[in-house]
A and B are shown apart, each in its own frame.
Chain A
Amino acid sequence: MSVIPDTPDPFIRDRGGPAQPLLSVSGLFKHFPVRKSGGKKQVVRAVDGVDFEVLKGETLGIVGESGCGKSTTAKLLMGLIERDTGTLLYDGQPVGERSMPWRAYRRQVQMVFQDSYASLNPRMTVEQSIAFGPKVNGVPGRQAVERARALLARVGLEPKRFAGRYPHEISGGQRQRVNIARSLALEPRLVLLDEAVSALDKSVEAQVLNLLLDLKQEFGLTYIFISHDLNVVRFISDRVMVMYLGRVSEIGPSDAVLAAPMHPYTRALLASMPSLDPNNRTQAALLAGDPPNPIDPPSGCRFHPRCSLAEPVCSQIEPPLETIAPLHRVACLARQPGSGHSAAPAGALAA
């Protein structure tokens, strides 16, 4: 069935069974050096100790404000930038070692970016762009082009009209469809969508979201869906991960996280969504000011300077990400028994 030929590819099929996470990330760090005036060396702690798992067949939404490290995380997962430390296990195999070399990994993990125009080669027709990956991986030219046309048709672009066009000749929504088609050309199992619908108009965004749902079902894909739009994330995700200044503040089933958020930051994010009801407009903003600078994050819990629940203990102890309900993990001292925070629940749940 696979059009990617090669000799039998040892990497392509499922190994661990459905219970094994498709991707496990642990202890992921990425600091970027910056030079401030005065020559003092500093680092931007873009991703500062992130652990999570992506289960097979799910959609994991990642939300957060600019500077929270969500896009850096995506690039680290793709290997587009090198991680400082941390391990990636793809279906149980450590990525970047002999059992799962980067080349084989990247064939199974693909990415769609926010800027649909910048991510296509302006000197290639859309068909050439889509066929490029398979060709590099040894698919004969004609077969790769055939597959490209089939994918174009699948994403709703009639091959006869669109195959020969260049990126500047089609609209933003159509370009993003091309990018999605290209990401599927190598038959990946995991697709990273980094703000993939954010630049689109609302009516086009809805079309692309529907397309993503269909493709997921048809090809049995797993998605990591990064967005700042909570409505979109709520719509598409099975689980949601909320990031703040390079760390995970809350992760859990999207119904639980977005309907009954445990972390004060998640709460504030939800409260700052504009209301759509003219009779019930937002009265006050829960948070003042902008997110702090990831160069010099606050001590202890990074959210404590903006947090309504903050107590002295919050500036001293960095809250670990702890399970407070099945699958639901929160990094907030006020939710963790025995943390020293006065609002912390009694130790009943601790076991």
Chain B
Amino acid sequence: MSALVSAAGPAVVLSNLRVAFGKVQVVDGVDLTVERGQALALIGESGSGKSVTLRAILRLFPESRSRIEGGIFAAGKDVQALGKRALADFRGGDVSMIFQEPLLAFDPVYTVGQQITEAIHRHETITKADARKRALALFERVRIPSPERRLDNYPHEMSGGMRQRAMIALALACHPQVLLADEPTTALDATVQIQVLLLLRELQRDLGLSIVIVTHDLGAAVEVADRIAVMYAGKIVETGTAHQVVLDPHHPYTIGLLRSRAEGALEKGARLQTIPGSPPDLANRPAGCPFAPRCFLAEERCQTEMPPVGEIAPGHRVACWHTDEAASAYRAGPTPVRAIEPLPA
């Protein structure tokens, strides 16, 4: 474990992370490593546990109502072992987070500038003027136009894209090593989304930030991430570099996600390849592979036994009994999905 908590180790390491709310096991054994300076995208559908995994890194859940098990190491610290005070220092100081809806994440009754300087004062002993100077520099860094004036704006006076930039400035205020982003562009317009994605990429490159971004949009993931992890029903089913996952997928669920995109249709008006059914109810998780009821390759073993994680290529790990069949089906072209579409459960 000492290697995991050293300053030179990976930025984030999750080992067999399990998160439960009451009886519902939302995250069920996640192993994940994010190297320093790397951007990783966690993708999956709603309810797959991707946001919960991300928030667990900051232990953002009330302890009385959640159970977090397994190892969480981030920015050289063992997060599970942090006391109350140390955890508060850790949040924002070592690892910080941006959220989907910046209007909800900012306090509406303080100006954005006040909120940023407040965060700086919480973590450092610094004069007011210096804190303000730093906030101004941050606004310039994230390219907010007329930054001096914008610091004195209230959140509602900014547009959506600018608020998300301000949110990023706030997250970077205390020089964190790791930036966690929970659907940072989902609420933004298309032309603004690409600007924010490019900004994240630039920050990763210039500041050496490690980024974990959660998104349901494969396109957004490809734009920023070096590595992609695909989650389904609380488990990571496939991880690899963006190339490996998007161009050479080995898990039937990843293949389904790629195929069901509208731009994947061969011709306009042709039926889309869909994944039949809908994600499982986490309270009644099926035995075996959780994807088996929707999988085009499922057989008896899949219903009863959870497949182990196997390494296809260096860094490319997939949890499936049929990785070879899946990959060759993908390469063969878009017809492996069963023609019949069973009724959604």
Distance in angstroms from B322 CB to nearest chain A CB is 19
**How many residues in A have their beta carbons less than 8 Å from beta carbons of B?**
50
Mask for A139-156, Cβ within 8 A of B = 1, else 0? 000000000000000001
Residues in B with CB closer than 8 Å to A201 are 45-46, 216, 279
Q: What is the minimal beta-carbon distance from B229 to any residue of chain A, in angstroms?
A: 15
Q: How distant is the Cα of A293 from the Cα of B161 in the complex, in angstroms? A: 13
Whether A281 contacts B222 by the Cβ 8 Å rule is yes
Q: B278 is contacted by which of A171, A268, A278 (Cβ under 8 Å)?
A: A171
B344 at the interface (CB under 8 A from A): yes
Q: Which residues of A contact B274 (CB under 8 A)?
A: 203, 206-207, 210
Asked if A289 meets B194 with Cβ closer than 8 Å, knowing A174-B344, A201-B216, A206-B273, the reply is no
A210–B271 contact, CB under 8 A?
yes
Among B269-287, those with CB < 8 Å from A are 269, 271-276, 278-279
Chain B nearest CB, measured from A197 CB (Å): 9
A14 at the interface (CB under 8 A from B): no
B242: interface (CB < 8 Å)? yes
Q: Give A229 to B242 CA distance when docked, in angstroms.
A: 22
* Complex interface: stretch among A107-115, A124-132, A231-239, A337-345: A231-239
Q: Contacting chain A: which of B51-59, B77-85, B102-110, B255-263? A: B255-263
Contact A282 B223 (CB under 8 A): yes
Q: How far is the CA of A281 from the CA of B219 in the complex (A)?
A: 10
Query: Quick check: is A277 within 8 A (CB to CB) of the other chain?
Result: yes
Q: Does the CB pair A202–B216 fall under 8 Å?
A: yes
CB atoms of B263 and A234 under 8 A apart = yes
- Distance from B23 Cβ to chain A, minimum over Cβ atoms (Å): 19
The answer to whether the Cβ of A121 comes within 8 Å of any Cβ in the partner chain is no
Q: Indicate if B301 sits at the interface (CB-CB under 8 A).
A: no
Which interface residue of A202, A236, A284 has the most chain B CB atoms within 10 A?
A202
Query: Given A234-B263, A278-B247 in contact, is the A291-B45 Cβ separation under 8 Å?
Result: no
Interface positions, chain A 157-198, Cβ under 8 Å from B, are 157-158, 171-174
Q: Which B residues have a C-beta under 8 Å from some C-beta of A?
A: 45-46, 145, 159-162, 189-195, 197-198, 216-220, 222-223, 241-243, 246-247, 256-257, 260-263, 265, 268-269, 271-276, 278-279, 341, 343-344
| Contacts beyond the supplied A210-B274, A286-B191, A287-B191: 11 A-B pairs with Cβ under 8 Å | A174-B278, A203-B260, A234-B263, A235-B269, A235-B272, A274-B222, A281-B222, A282-B223, A285-B195, A291-B189, A291-B191
Residues of A within 8 A of B160 (CB): 66, 290
**Does residue A118 face the partner (Cβ distance < 8 Å to B)?**
no
A209 within 8 Å of B by Cβ? yes
Taking CB atoms, residues of chain A closer than 8 Å to B272 are: 206, 209-210, 235
**Minimum C-beta distance from A258 to chain B (A):** 10
A278 to B341, CA, bound (A): 31
- Cβ-based interface call for A269 (8 A): yes
Assess whether A288 is in contact with B263, with CB atoms less than 8 Å apart.
no
- Residues of A within 8 Å of B260, CB to CB, are 202-203, 205-206
Contact of B261 with A202 in the complex, beta carbons under 8 Å: yes
Are A275 and B223 in contact, CB atoms less than 8 angstroms apart?
A: yes
Interfacial chain A residues near B162, Cβ < 8 Å: 290
Complex formed: what's the CA distance from A228 to B246 in Å? 24
Does A43 interact with chain B (Cβ within 8 Å)? no
* Assembly CA distance A228 to B159 (angstroms): 18
Contact A274 B219 (CB under 8 A): yes
Is A317 an interface residue, CB under 8 A from the partner? no
Measured CA separation A1–B161 after assembly (Å): 52
As a 0/1 sequence over residues 235 to 255 of chain A, the CB contacts with chain B under 8 angstroms (1 = contact) are 110000000000000000011
B220 and A274: CB pair below 8 A? yes
Contact present for A276 and B193 (CB under 8 Å) = no
